[in-house]
Amino acid sequence: MLQLKRRGARVLRRPERLWGVFLLLALLVFVVIPLLYIAVGSFQYDSWGPRYVRGAEPGQFTSFYWHRVLFSQMSSSIFGEPFLHSLLIASLVVLISIPLGSIFAWLVVRTDLPFKKFFSSVLIIPYILPAWTVGLAWLTVFKHPQFGGQPGLLFGLFGLEPPIWISYGLLPIVISLSVHYVPYTFTLLSGALATIDAQLEESAEILGAHRAKILRKITFPLVLPALGSAFILTVGRALGAFGAPAFLGLPVRYYALSTRVYAAFSNRQQAEGYVLTALLILFTTLTVLVNQKLLGTRKRFTTVTGKGGKQRLVKLGRGRIPALLLLGAFVGLFVFAPMALVFLETLLKMEGRYAWDNLTLHYWVGLGVPELAEGQPGVFRNAVILGAITNSVFLALMTALVSGVLGILLGYTVVRNRGKPLSRALESLSFVPYMIPGIAFGGIYLSLFARSWGPFPALYGTMTILILTCTMRNLPFAAGAGVAAMHQIDVALEEAAELHGARWPKRFVRIILPLSKSGFLSAFILTFITSMRALDEIALLVTPQTRTMTSIIFRFQQQGFTQHAYGITVLIVAITLVGNYLARRLGGRVSF
């Protein structure tokens, strides 16, 4: 009894353990159970079961779907081909974005390249923009009259008819994803390069090694962990990416695993969806594990630590102009031009006709006229779109807020319980959502929370489920930011307040929260941006009441309301850029 009383008092005074248990439970419910749910669901007949197998009862145990996906005659079109496509996309994206990001990082951090400040702030933009922005811009240029009916810029201006493989499919998907993920490598590697102790390289130089050798023998191994993290982030996202393959692949029936999962769930073929989801998660996890094994590191957000000595900048000499051109071309062609093209598209009365008399603001402020876009009013007059804007901003703000607080709490619990199994479990579990591709996340939560379950009411059709999904999906970043922030706070700072009699809630609000402001802000801004442009994880979850800007873009794009879709994209870009700017002013920055 005494023992119990003491224990209770201790837990209340130092609630990090209590929080740990609470968070662990939450992670079990929102991460582990969904995973188990997929595993179980993939072995049960769904409502389509009886159509495939005579006498099948929905809910009955079966290995039919695994067999169908992996070994049947249908296998190659359901799984084989999409899987190959996904693999191809991911490998090509890695092969393009990692070297490109590395070169950019090296140029910006270690050389005397001009306009470095400009480049380092602009090179984060591709990540802030929705991944499909480049894809949409690509379409405006190369669109094929044969699909979607309207010609693109090339055809409109020059009468050129580009081959289909240029307009749709692998090439544009890879290009838009590569551009989108360059910032991962750029940010991580810039951080690593900036913190390398200059003495390490200088001592090699004094020993007579030339620049290329130093780069290969000293610098490269030192930044290898950062490269490994960049690889994990890129491959994890590229394997499961949904937006770009949907916009650029579906019109020509070029399927990736993610679009297959989407098709299965939206056709209510859940069990098949589960099998594909399980496979998608499996491959993502395997890639990450193999990478970790190869690099021998478990640190996922690693940069080289230690104080950097003063680094001398490499003089580019005659290479200055080509380097500047390379960066300039990338930024111009893949950052600014797409934004401009997408915006230009919204001003065209008729697609593909590039003439002054064809310019209009109708799609922004016009009232609906029957002959244009089936009478859809302009973006700012359109009740559906305005509702979606409200929803999106609400979703992004709430998710960012919840993620920020959750990240700090997780960081607090992980750091304060350091060394205990609880801390390790929390840290690894909070990384698990990274292995679950967004579209799969949506699929699982759709099945899990469609009906009321345990203490949870039916959440389908509410904003809550969208917030929940986006929060869990961004958990790895939020937790990472929280742990990093909490490492900076000495325990004594909290103990000093405790000695003055401040209870835990007060300590948290007065001491912990203000001191972890930067961690909170970086979790906040990153989640705000990703939720603002989230499509993958919510594509399956939105209903007419909870439509977001992204889901409307997706629908309008499929229905051929191009200008509206592009207009909303422009708005998303504007909102995220402003959000990023505000967060930077407050002292937060996007970091992975």
Partner 1 sequence: MPNISIHRLTKKFGQVMAVRDLTLEVQDGEFVTLLGPSGCGKTTTLRCLAGLEEPDQGEICFGPRCVFSSQRGLNVPPGARGIGMVFQNYALWPHMTVFQNVAFGLVEKGMGREQIRREVSGILELVGMQGYEKRYPSELSGGQQQRVALARVLVTRPQIVLFDEPLSNLDAKLRMTLRAELKRLHAEIQATAVYVTHDQLEALTLSTRIAVMKEGVVQQYGSPQEVYHFPANLFVAEFLGNPTTNLVPCVVKDVGPVTWLEVKGGGPSRFAVELAGSLRLGQELILNVRPEDVVFHALPHEGAIPARVFAALPTGAECIIYARLQDAASEIVLRGPEEEMQCLRPDQPLWLGFKRGNLFDPQSGHLVCSFGFAT
Cα–Cα distance measured from residue 488 to residue 412, given in angstroms and rounded to the nearest whole number: 11
Structure tokens at 331: 């930024």
Q: Which CB atom, from 6 or from 293, has the smaller least distance to partner 1?
A: 6
Site for partner 1 contains 212 (CB under 8 A): no
Q: Which CB atom, from 266 or from 488, has the smaller least distance to partner 1?
A: 488
Cα–Cα distance measured from residue 549 to residue 569, given in angstroms and rounded to the nearest whole number: 8
Residue of 192, 440, 497, 571 that binds partner 1 (CB under 8 A): 497
Cα–Cα distance measured from residue 573 to residue 168, given in angstroms and rounded to the nearest whole number: 23
Window 517-536: residues binding partner 1 (CB under 8 A): 517
Site for partner 1 contains 13 (CB under 8 A): yes
Cα–Cα distance measured from residue 228 to residue 159, given in angstroms and rounded to the nearest whole number: 45
- Nearest-approach distance from CB 12 to partner 1, in angstroms: 9
Site for partner 1 contains 496 (CB under 8 A): yes
Q: Which CB atom, from 10 or from 268, has the smaller least distance to partner 1?
A: 10
Q: Which CB atom, from 300 or from 507, has the smaller least distance to partner 1?
A: 507
Helix (H, G, I), strand (E, B) or coil at 150: coil
Site for partner 1 contains 32 (CB under 8 A): no
Q: Which CA distances in Å does 586 have to 21, 480, 580, 582? A: 33, 20, 10, 6
Residue of 6, 67, 213, 298 that binds partner 1 (CB under 8 A): 6
Cα–Cα distance measured from residue 592 to residue 236, given in angstroms and rounded to the nearest whole number: 13
Q: Which CB atom, from 3 or from 73, has the smaller least distance to partner 1?
A: 3
Cα–Cα distance measured from residue 99 to residue 182, given in angstroms and rounded to the nearest whole number: 9
Site for partner 1 contains 499 (CB under 8 A): yes
Q: Which residues pair with 453 in a beta bridge?
A: 456
Site for partner 1 contains 10 (CB under 8 A): yes
- Nearest-approach distance from CB 408 to partner 1, in angstroms: 15
- Nearest-approach distance from CB 297 to partner 1, in angstroms: 28
Site for partner 1 contains 490 (CB under 8 A): yes
Q: Which CB atom, from 374 or from 495, has the smaller least distance to partner 1?
A: 495
Nearest CA among 532, 385, 379, 425 for reference residue 470:
532
Cα–Cα distance measured from residue 387 to residue 479, given in angstroms and rounded to the nearest whole number: 31
Site for partner 1 contains 424 (CB under 8 A): no
Only one of the segments 7-15, 348-356, 528-536, 584-592 lies at the binding site for partner 1 (rule: CB under 8 A); that segment is 7-15
Site for partner 1 contains 312 (CB under 8 A): no
Q: Which CB atom, from 10 or from 213, has the smaller least distance to partner 1?
A: 10
Residue 55: which residues within 8 A CB-CB, separation 6 or more?
Answer: none
Q: Which CB atom, from 7 or from 312, has the smaller least distance to partner 1?
A: 7
Q: Which CA distances in Å does 427 have to 18, 228, 339, 385? A: 16, 19, 38, 39
Residue of 315, 500, 505, 544 that binds partner 1 (CB under 8 A): 500
Q: Which residues pair with 378 in a beta bridge?
A: none
Residue of 208, 454, 505, 514 that binds partner 1 (CB under 8 A): 514
Binding residues for partner 1, rule CB under 8 A, total: 26
Site for partner 1 contains 46 (CB under 8 A): no
DSSP state string for 315-377? P-GGGHHHHHHHHHHHHIIIIIHHHHHHHHHHTBSSTT---GGGB-SHHHHPPP-TTSGGGPP
- Nearest-approach distance from CB 306 to partner 1, in angstroms: 21
Radius of gyration of the chain (CA): 25
- Nearest-approach distance from CB 547 to partner 1, in angstroms: 41
Site for partner 1 contains 478 (CB under 8 A): no
Q: Which CB atom, from 296 or from 501, has the smaller least distance to partner 1?
A: 501
Structure tokens at 2: 């005494």
Q: Which CB atom, from 121 or from 488, has the smaller least distance to partner 1?
A: 488
Identify the burial level of 229 via C-beta atoms within 10 angstroms of its C-beta, where 0-12 means exposed, 13-18 middle and 19 or more buried.
Answer: buried
Residue of 498, 542, 548, 572 that binds partner 1 (CB under 8 A): 498
- Nearest-approach distance from CB 511 to partner 1, in angstroms: 6
Residue of 53, 250, 502, 577 that binds partner 1 (CB under 8 A): 502
Residue of 271, 341, 515, 572 that binds partner 1 (CB under 8 A): 515
- Nearest-approach distance from CB 402 to partner 1, in angstroms: 23
Residue of 160, 367, 492, 582 that binds partner 1 (CB under 8 A): 492
Q: Which CB atom, from 492 or from 574, has the smaller least distance to partner 1?
A: 492
Q: Which CB atom, from 9 or from 198, has the smaller least distance to partner 1?
A: 9
What is the rounded end-to-end Cα distance, in angstroms, of the chain?
Answer: 48
Count of CB atoms situated within 10 Å of the CB of 464: 15
Structure tokens at 507: 């300590």
- Nearest-approach distance from CB 505 to partner 1, in angstroms: 13
Site for partner 1 contains 493 (CB under 8 A): yes
Contact 523, 478 (CB under 8 A): yes
Site for partner 1 contains 427 (CB under 8 A): no
Site for partner 1 contains 432 (CB under 8 A): no
Residue of 163, 221, 501, 544 that binds partner 1 (CB under 8 A): 501
The structure tokens 């409109």 sit at 156
Cα–Cα distance measured from residue 306 to residue 512, given in angstroms and rounded to the nearest whole number: 25
Q: Which residues of 79-108 are buried (b: 16+ CB within 10 A; e: fewer)?
A: bebbbebbbebbebbbebbbebbbbbbbbb
Q: Kindly list the residues in this chain that would bind partner 1 in the complex (CB under 8 A).
A: 1-3, 5-6, 9-10, 13, 490, 492-493, 495-503, 506, 510-511, 514-515, 517
